[in-house]
A and B are shown apart, each in its own frame.
Chain A
Amino acid sequence: MLLALAQAQSASDPVETVRIQAMAIDLPVRLNTAWALFQGLLLEALPFLLIGVLIASLARWLSPGGAWLRRLPAHPIGGPLSGAALGFALPACECGNVPVARRLLVGGAPVGTALGFLFAAPVLNPIVIASTWAAFPDQPWLLLARPLGAVLVALALALLLRLLPEAELLRADLLEERRLNQPLASVSLLERRSGVIGLPADTPLAAPALGPADSEASSWREVLRHGSREFLNLALLLVAGCALAALVQAFLPRQWLLAVGGAPTLSILALMALSLVLSVCSSVDAFLALGFAGQITPGALLAFLLLGPVIDIKLVGLLGLLFKPRGLLLTTAGAGLAVLLIGQWINLWRL
């Protein structure tokens, strides 16, 4: 009856044998499994990464600029909110976002609005919401909590960074370009290095001020070059992120994950640290969270999905294009605190 069943070595107590087999880690087998997990994550995430890069390239091509930037609201709360809403118009993950936010700042948009865009748009856009839904079709609350949490974090950061004067927050070269685009009336004579005195406030100054970067932007080749390089750059980060996620999944003893993942505060902190290290794009981070989702508290899951888009190791380099170290430090601390609070609150609600 039992045809060609593979043999278990010890016939004396088969149950015991199987038990031991189940507990022991067979290294080659486990490595094969990790390799498959890695490929699964990567293949799932790459299309979303590509979509994100394509859209960021498109936004670069049709690069925003001009006087309308200066008319964006400067209200301390309305500004960041309208900036966050821009995320729907310019959907890009956080890596595509930093250059766009820089362009906003250089173009003379209010700081609060640009910050709102910078911090909320990576989550508040259709691609990210679609990938979150694709990863967690069984957790509809996440579809609401993630964008909402991102807006809260962006708002908190925008309000926090207002405390620093522009000159201490933004990099000197960015400020210099920015002043060229601000109405002269709003810039004191001492701050000015160039500009034409006596121009009406609305004169479009964008073309000369944005410099070589923008005269190139219209060339499709430049967009192609930039887009391909961005894709390969981010694909490399994604590969590293997927590899780390697959190794953690395959090799971290499940008891550890369960012990850490079950503790409300500890799980949030652990997943925040993980999102800092993994540094993957917001358009694909939901897939990486999948592997842990079963073993962690819901607040920790949300914290992972909220913190990564705002700050991580990869973004430190990119945000360095905008902020001085002090601004960067404040961003990191503020984002960490805000995300921790939101995670705790979610745990109170969901657990």
Chain B
Amino acid sequence: MGRPLLLRAALWRALALALWAVVLLQSGLDGRLDLLLRSIFHPLVSAAGVVLLALAVLQVLVALQGGRGGGRAPAESRREQRRDTGLSLVTATIAVALIVRPPNPSFADLASQRPGDDTTSDTLSFVLPPAQRSLTDWVRLLRSQPDPQLYAGDPVRISGFVLPVPGEPPQLARLLVRCCLADATPVGLPVRWTAGQPLPKADQWLAIEGRMAVERSRGADRGGERVGHRGGDEGSEQLVVVPERIKPIPRPARPLEP
């Protein structure tokens, strides 16, 4: 007493599983994972996609055989089947939404909701020459050796996005993730933007070449993240990047740093 193919719940389950498999596999291929997850989890996501795809294929086989061999699912009442199909369709719709609408987060917006990163890193095993240090390397170095005078005059070549800071000129920043975007925390370096020029727009990615300089900060207590910052309540010293060349760049393929 085979039901028409399209009425078999197994077929719709197969469709839903296949779409979820596409979500997982596609996000590995189109660089979405680079934007959202720390790289060590990427193989896990792709593997889960492969498993889901295999399950979907099995479900199609079951659906095709569904009419024959009967007796298999007497317990599966018609109402249960309908409920099942509904569930499959709802989840399939969500999967389609995920496929057609890739994420486009504003890092500056995300960072404005987060406290600055304050973990001391143990990954900095040796110190690179100044011109090779990434923005994150600089922040970590300043955290372990906070005296700004040590670095005055060092050449700097870094890239990051523009992060507006309340009450201050924007910083050049990066997001650090331990797991995924949900736990991203910003780290930033103050930049002495060229006087008279308009300030860069939030979220713009920039590559900056220049030198480190020590600057007296503006005294007022602003709370939040301050690296390379020394001194008491007034006239404390702060390390700033003095750019010689600023180049707008597109968002890098792997914008997150571990």
Binding site for B on A (CB under 8 A): 1-8, 11, 14-15, 17-19, 21-23, 26, 29-30, 32-33, 35-37, 39-44, 46-47, 50-51, 54, 134-138, 212, 216, 219, 221-222, 224-225, 227-229, 231-233, 235-236, 239, 245-246, 249-250, 254, 287-288, 290-291, 293-295
Contacts and interface: CB of A to CB of B under 8 A. Distances in A.
A293 B103 CA distance: 23
Given A30-B109, A135-B179, A287-B182, A46 B20 contact: yes
Contacts of A232: 13, 16-17, 87-88, 91
A3 B197 CA distance: 10
Contacts of B10: 225
A219 B58 CA distance: 14
A30 to B, nearest CB: 6
A5 B246 contact: yes
Contacts of A246: 182
A-B pairs, top 8 by smallest CB distance, nearest first, are A36-B105, A36-B103, A6-B201, A47-B48, A40-B181, A22-B164, A40-B36, A40-B180
A224 B59 CA distance: 8
A250 B106 CA distance: 11
Contacts of A42: 98
B52 interface: yes
Contacts of A46: 20, 24, 45, 48
Contacts of B170: 18
B180 A32 contact: no
B199 A39 contact: no
B90 interface: yes
Contact of B248 (A4, A14, A216, A290): A4
Nearest to A11: B198
B91 A134 contact: no
17 contacts: A2-B246, A5-B198, A5-B246, A5-B248, A22-B112, A32-B104, A35-B103, A37-B181, A40-B37, A43-B27, A44-B180, A224-B59, A229-B13, A231-B17, A236-B94, A239-B91, A294-B183
B78 interface: no
Interface centre among A37, A236, A287 (most CB of B within 10 A): A37
Contacts of B152: none
Contacts of B113: 249-250, 254
Interface in B91-138: 91, 94, 98, 101, 103-106, 108-110, 112-115, 119
B199 A32 contact: no
B35 interface: yes
Contacts of B67: none
A15 B98 CA distance: 38
Interface of B: 10, 13, 16-17, 20, 23-24, 27, 32-33, 35-37, 41, 44-45, 47-48, 51-52, 55, 58-59, 62, 72-73, 75-76, 84, 87-88, 90-91, 94, 98, 101, 103-106, 108-110, 112-115, 119, 164-170, 178-183, 185, 193-194, 197-202, 204, 243-248
Contacts of B20: 46, 235
A232 to B, nearest CB: 5
B165 A22 contact: yes
Nearest to B69: A221
Contacts of B32: 39, 43
Contacts of A245: 182
Nearest to B41: A44
A294 B185 contact: yes
Contacts of B168: 15, 18
A228 B17 contact: yes
Contacts of A136: 178
A115 B200 CA distance: 60
Contacts of A47: 24, 41, 44-45, 47-48
Contacts of B164: 18-19, 21-22
A36 B13 contact: no
A219 B72 contact: yes
Contact of B55 (A18, A19, A228, A239): A228
Nearest to B197: A2
B105 A32 contact: yes
Contacts of B115: 294-295
B36 A43 contact: yes
Interface centre among A11, A32, A43, A224 (most CB of B within 10 A): A43
A268 B185 CA distance: 23
B111 to A, nearest CB: 10
Contact of A138 (B13, B17, B91, B119): B119
Contacts of B33: 43
B179 A35 contact: no
Contacts of A134: 41, 179
Contacts of A5: 197-201, 204, 246, 248
A135 B178 CA distance: 7
Contact of A36 (B36, B47, B87, B91): B36
B17 A14 contact: no
A37 B201 CA distance: 22
